[in-house]
Structure 1
Amino acid sequence: MTTTQHEQTDHYPTRLSTASRPIDRQHPTVWGTAADGPFTAAELEAHEARGFTVLEDVLSGDEVLSYRQELSRLTSDESLRDDERVITEKTSGEVRSIFEVQRFSAAIDALSRDPRVLGRARQLLGSDVYLHQTRVNYMPGFKGAGFYWHSDFETWHSEDGMPLPRAVSCSIALTDNYPFNGGLMVMPGSHRTFVPSVGETPEHNYKSSLKEQEVGVPSQEAVTELAHALGIEQFTGRAGSALWFDSNIMHGSGNNITPFPRSNIFLVFNSVENALVEPFAARGVRPDHIANRDATPLR
């Protein structure tokens, strides 16, 4: 892929015309060291191997309550209903996600800069970081729809132009995550394998993929192979806990048919040394509220 400045090597080709074997990851998961932040050397080693880390009690009970109130304020704000950053459920029409949420909420903007969060992102990525994407996710009781298995990096690489999987997501739970209310499932160690997808990226694919992703997902054969080799674990824990997971880990979630809702704040940090270039497998870039192209470091 050629950029306006130089030739950018595509290390992870995807959206192919024919099926291709998975690609062994060529780049680290952890770029920093124990001297760079709050994670210990043992925690960093485990994150490198598994591709994710769960931390309990990142937020206090009072903080959780405050952020829940913030989410309630946002979802009940009628002035946001027609905003393109608000994504609704495909069937029920209820709010599913609000993107670029730090623009609507000073509290969430401050959270992205909180040393408890920002320090870990810098440590994992070994550099200054910026927010590639933010959102709040709502999964209401009985109606919350899940997401099929996918790697975020596959989309961010092909549709946004993220060169390497040098990005990490932090999902902070604002409700208790049970094994039965649509919690996120991950395949430990799957971040070490990039799974190319088949099929050309449709124009403006994001308009449908944010509700239900159909392009850029792995084949059932690839999912089966990874699941049998690596197993599946699920993020469960009390409200206030956080899941840090690598951009290339295979993950998904089921529908929530219980009366227990699930909501979270989702922050994606990208290294400033991994700033976006032209998309590797799409004709145009996605909007900035989905893929931030301003790599100014967070302070």
Structure 2
Amino acid sequence: MSYTRFAGRVDRYPTRLDEPTDPIPRAEPTVWGNESDGPLHEVDLGSMAANGYLVRPSAVGDNWVCALRDELNRIGAQADPGDPRIIREPSGGSTRSVFQPHLFSDVIAELITLDTVLPVARQLLGSDVYLHQARINLMPGFTGTGFYWHSDFETWHAEDGMPQMRAVSCSISLTDNFPYNGSLMVMPGSHRTFYPCVGATPRNNHSSSLVKQEIGVPSRATLTEAAAHYGIDQVTGPAGTALWFDSNVMHGSGSNITPLPRSNVFLVFNSIENQLVAPFAAESPRPEYLAARVSQPFSTPSLVQ
């Protein structure tokens, strides 16, 4: 494997390049902890390592789902339209995402520290963790647009300066996820390969990429090859289901043209041993609400950032 070295750093995963280049094998493990380190059993850890994702039904109960839905509606009604953390759909109408929802809601802040959430993140990453990013994704009926195929790590590496693939996402569904209302699709096993992307990062790329991502996505030829090799799984399940997925797994979702909304709380945990550095392929880091650069680990609920 050839690495790029610049400014005293080694970039294991060069991306946003001028020309296409070969995929890069993953250098880090997917699961860093052991069965004794948390609530997941060996079969769960093995499934996560092999597929890059893990579904945990009933991660939160109905009382939590109802409370979180109420908070979602309250935040949506009270949100300042000029707040950059509120992302609208491309049409400019309904809300697409709300970043840092734990700062809007004590309920969401408490959710992060539940026994079905925080200990799982610590076990998978084999260390103390901090919240790299948090958001609510809303996909309302009829108008909710999808998220194109991508690896989260590609963006976090290029624009946030995340050095290693030692981060994991937890998506907790607040509505039932059906095959037809925009549920997430993943390419199982794709987390073991990094696909460099072509095209330089525009200045303030996040201002447009959060609405429609065009930079940092693989080519159609690359996606066709990856899908043929790994296949595609669609993740469905009732409200309260938690989907854990690796930072580098290829995933995306279609638009929702049904009357049935799909919303989820999305939490990204990063290891405290994976400190962010200067972006590897951008002029400057993204704002704090997209990528927390204060990496204080959780020790009490009050340390939710």
Shorter-chain TM band: over 0.9
Offset of residue 115 of structure 1: 2.1
Separation in 1 of the partners of 2:6 and 2:117?
34
Q: Is the 8 A contact 1:185 1:233 kept in 2?
A: yes
Q: Report the identity percentage.
A: 56
* Residues 89 and 211, structure 2, Cα contact 8 Å, conserved in 1: yes
Q: TM-score, normalised by structure 2?
A: 0.95
Residue 68 (str. 1) matches residue 54 (str. 2): no
- The residue type paired with residue 105 of structure 1 is S
Whole-Å Cα distance in 2 between the matches of residues 14 and 64 of structure 1?
38
How many pairs does the alignment contain? 295
Q: 1:80 offset after TM fit, Å?
A: 2.2
2:50 partner letter: A
Deviations 1:219-254 (A, max 9, x none): 101100110111100110000001000000000000
Map of 2:40 onto structure 1: 39
Q: CA RMSD in A?
A: 0.9
Residue 97 of structure 2 aligns to a residue whose secondary structure is: strand
Distance 2:59 2:114 in 1: 11
Aligned pairs (5 A) from 1:201-216: 201-216=201-216
Give distance in 1, aligned partners of 2:6 and 2:60: 43
Match of 1:20 in 2: 21
**Counterpart for residue 182 of structure 2:** 182
CA distance in 1, matches of 2:126, 2:245: 15
SS of the residue 1:9 aligns to = strand
Aligned equivalent of 1:293? 293
Q: How far has the Cα of 1:298 moved from its partner? A: 1.5
Question: Which residue identity does 1:11 align to in structure 2?
Answer: R
What corresponds to 1:102 in structure 2?
102
Aligned twin of 1:192: 192
Q: Secondary structure at the match of 1:68?
A: helix
Q: 1:275 deviation in Å?
A: 1.1
Tell me what 1:158 maps to.
Answer: 158
Partners of 2:242 and 2:92 lie apart in 1 by: 28
Any idea what SS the aligned residue of 2:208 has? helix
5 Å-filtered alignment, 1:107-118, equals 107-118=107-118
Q: How does 1:252-291 map to 2 (within 5 A)?
A: 252-291=252-291
| Conserved 8 A contact 1:92-1:143 | no
Other-structure match for 2:31: 30
1: distance between equivalents of 2:43 and 2:136? Answer: 31
Contact 1:29 1:166 in 2 (8 A): yes
Q: Contact (CA 8 Å) 1:151, 1:251: kept in 2 or not?
A: yes
Following TM superposition, by how much is the alpha carbon of 1:75 offset from its aligned partner in structure 2, in angstroms?
0.6
Which amino acid in structure 2 is aligned with residue 207 of structure 1?
Answer: S
Structure 1 ranges of 4+ moved more than 3 A: none
Q: Secondary structure at the match of 2:108?
A: helix
Structure 1: how far apart are the matches of 2:176 and 2:195? 31
> Unmatched 5+ residue regions in structure 1?
none
TM-score by length of 1: 0.97
Distance in 2 between the 1:80 and 1:131 partners? 23
Runs of at least 5 residues in structure 2 that lack an aligned partner in the other structure: 300-305
Q: Is the 8 A contact 1:170 1:243 kept in 2?
A: yes
Deviation at 1:130, TM superposition (A): 0.2
CA contact (8 A) 1:56 1:237 kept: yes
CA shift for structure 1 position 92: 4.5
SS in 1 for 2:273: helix
Q: Which residue of 1 aligns with 2:303?
A: none
